[in-house]
Every structure is written in structure tokens, then in C-alpha cells.
Copies of this chain bind each other. A is one copy, B any other.
């Protein structure tokens, strides 16, 4: 295997794949506002919008201006910020009432949605498919007449009838919608199901496809990736994945996925070293902790512990790392203070401490450290003091030897 070959690169047989040319629609200021703990003041909305723009997301989606008077003012204010990288969208119901308000706010585009599954048609809005189609056409033509981008999305697409979906999507495609949206609103979809649905729809429309994946069953990032393979282009994300219930595709985790598969595209387009700042900002505002196991920024994402891992990582970080911590402004950590440690990790520590020990000596002190690790948790200081202690005793022996040898010489 050549070292330049990337086994995680886009599948060469996927001619329609958008893995190396996806775009991000960040919905922290819409879906994220539906997170249980989210209460965004205008000031915080501005901070978040500016941070997303600086990071380089392609679109920022905002809560509907119809939600409240304050929501409308917020949309108008964010549209006036003059962001450099990100276009502004707002997310509204498929109603003329909502559309008329939305187009007056200054947004670049409007994301309309309506539920098409039996569940939502019965228990949410109570409308049938012909009514849905009629509303969709009216709203789309109106928004287009104002010169704005328009996306039409079905909610709960994976529990909708495929005939209904193809009917409505091909209809809105003919009217000239910019994007259609496919949403796993309840978070139950799995990757191959996503691939099949998106590819089927992609073969029936000319417009681009946006996707929205909830994370109830832990598949949101993988579903987003598979959707790109099937020809979708736009992925909805939120910082830390916040949203209804346990949220949607997290921006940081999605970047971890994409930088492995399309490193040049991702690194040239998005400021990956800002992910930690973005996540800290949101964690502070919505008062949550960064999950301990978060991709990239979880406290242990680049920590290596088992002796066998540490040994290989010290020889070549690619052995046990598919992500390079420096791409994210972070550093690697070899966890050597534990009973699973190995002598290679301890050797690296001995060198950091600027001490001289032979490999055989390091193997002996490693056994001492592992024994101590069996008895109790070890801190770095514990290991350092065992090493230093061992080193000074070994040196005393050497000194003693030298002294006695000197003595012998003098005697001789």
C-alpha cells in the first residue's frame, strides 16, 4: 500500500458523490434554539453568527421571524451584520403568511418545510398531499419572485410514502426550487437506507439536495456522510449538535468525519482550529459540558494509554491516529502513568526528563511503575519520582563503582 493512498477517501465507484464538495448549513441559531437549554439573547446570537462566519460555514439558518416579535428583530439584525462567508437563511412553515414576513427580513434565502409522513399529516397539520403540493407551489413561486433562494423540505421523510415524496419533489423541482430537503426528523434512519432514498430522489430531480439528520440512534454523522455519497450536497449541522431531543449532526464531529475523507477540501475551506472555540462558546451559552467523548475536542480524543498503542504512536502517530491533532490546534498526549503502560512510553518520558537510562534500565523501572499502578491510580508526578529515584540510585551505583575502581587504581 502506497503511503499516499487514503483508504478512507471517497468511494471511486460513486460518480455522484459530493464528499469532496459538500456545503454546510449550520442551524445552531434555529434547530439549536430548540435545544432544551438554549435561550439565546440577541447579543449571543450575534457572537454565534460571527463565529460561524469566521469558521467558514456556507449558510447560517435562523429561527422563523414568525416565532415572536423578538425573533423577527433578531433575523433582521443578523442580516445586517455583513458576514463574509455565510449566507443567511430562515426556516419557516410552508405558509404564505410566514413567507411574506420572511422575505422582508433581508435574508438570502428561505427554508420551508412541511410534514409529509402519515404521522405528521394526521397529528400535526392535518393536511393531505394535494393541499401540501398547492401550498408548496404558491410559497415557492412567491419567494422566487422576490429573488431569494428557496429550499423545500419534507419533515420525517423516511417515514413518508416514497410515491408522495417523489411526486412533491419532482413538482417543486420543476418550479425551480434551489434545494430540496430530506429530513430524518425522528433520528431513526440508518446509512444504507439513507443512501438508497437519496440516490433514488437524486435521479429524479435537477436541483441540489440538503439533508437534516437527528441523532436519536447515534447515526447522524454517518448518515450525513452517506447522504453525500448518494449525491446530497448540503448538510445541516449545529455546534455540539444541539437541537430538539439529543440534537442533530454536530459540526465538530462532522468535520472529523470529512477531514479524514476529503482532507484538502476541508482544510482549505474551513478553519478547523476554531472548532474548540466554537464549541466552548456554545457550551458556555447553553450551560452544558463538552462531552468527554466528543470527537476532536473531548478531553481524551488524542490521549493514548495502552503500552502497545503508545509504543507505535511514538514511532509514527498515523499508527493509531486518523486525525492529526495539530490540524485542530490541539496536541497529542501519551498517557504513561498507569499499569497498562509499556517501556516505550516510559522511555519517551525519561527522554523528556533529560535523564540517561539504558533500554534495559528503562524496562526495569517500567516494571516498578506497573507494580505501583496495580496498587493505586498514578499521577505523572508519581511516575516521574519513581523514574528519578531509580535514576539517582543507578547513578549512585555507578558512582560507587567509579569510586571503588578509583580506590583500586590508587591501591594498585
- Residues of chain A touching chain B, judged by Cβ–Cβ distance below 8 Å, are 1, 7-8, 11, 33-37, 39, 63, 67-71, 93, 115, 117-120, 122-124, 156, 158-159, 161, 185-193, 195, 215-223, 225-226, 229, 240-242, 244-247, 250, 253-254, 256-257, 260-261, 288-289, 291-295, 298-306, 308-309, 311-312, 315-316, 318-323, 335, 338-340, 370-371, 373-377
From A298, which residue of chain B is reached at the shortest CB distance? Answer: B246
Task: Select which of B159, B253, B315, B377 is within 8 A of A217 by beta carbon.
Answer: B253
| Pairs A–B under 8 Å by Cβ, sample size 25 | A8-B188, A8-B189, A11-B193, A33-B340, A34-B306, A36-B299, A67-B340, A67-B370, A68-B339, A115-B312, A119-B319, A190-B226, A192-B226, A216-B322, A217-B257, A218-B250, A218-B254, A218-B257, A219-B225, A219-B257, A222-B223, A244-B304, A245-B300, A245-B303, A246-B300
Ranked nearest first, the 7 interchain pairs of A and B with the lowest CB-CB distance are A222-B222, A291-B291, A70-B374, A188-B322, A191-B191, A218-B221, A218-B253
Q: Which residues of B contact A33 (CB under 8 A)?
A: 340
Q: A68-B371, A322-B217, A339-B67 are in contact. Are A295 and B246 (CB under 8 A)?
A: yes
Q: Which residues of B contact A192 (CB under 8 A)?
A: 11, 191-192, 195, 226, 229
Q: How far is the CA of A33 from the CA of B335 in the complex (A)?
A: 12
Q: Which residues of B contact A115 (CB under 8 A)?
A: 312
Kindly provide the distance from the CB of A229 to the nearest chain B CB, expressed in whole angstroms.
Answer: 6
The answer to whether B244 and A309 have CB atoms under 8 Å apart is: yes
Q: How far is the CA of A124 from the CA of B37 in the complex (A)?
A: 46
Q: How many copies does the complex hold?
A: 2
From A219, which residue of chain B is reached at the shortest CB distance? Answer: B222
Kindly provide the distance from the CB of A227 to the nearest chain B CB, expressed in whole angstroms.
Answer: 11
The answer to whether A339 and B306 have CB atoms under 8 Å apart is: no
Q: How far is the CA of A367 from the CA of B95 in the complex (A)?
A: 20
Q: Which residues of B contact A70 (CB under 8 A)?
A: 339, 374-375
Q: How far is the CA of A223 from the CA of B8 in the complex (A)?
A: 13
Q: Which residues of B contact A185 (CB under 8 A)?
A: 320
From A247, which residue of chain B is reached at the shortest CB distance? Answer: B293
The answer to whether A34 and B309 have CB atoms under 8 Å apart is: yes
The answer to whether B68 and A319 have CB atoms under 8 Å apart is: no
Q: Which residues of B contact A11 (CB under 8 A)?
A: 192-193
From A221, which residue of chain B is reached at the shortest CB distance? Answer: B218
Q: Which residues of B contact A69 (CB under 8 A)?
A: 371, 374
The answer to whether A256 and B301 have CB atoms under 8 Å apart is: no
The answer to whether B222 and A320 have CB atoms under 8 Å apart is: no
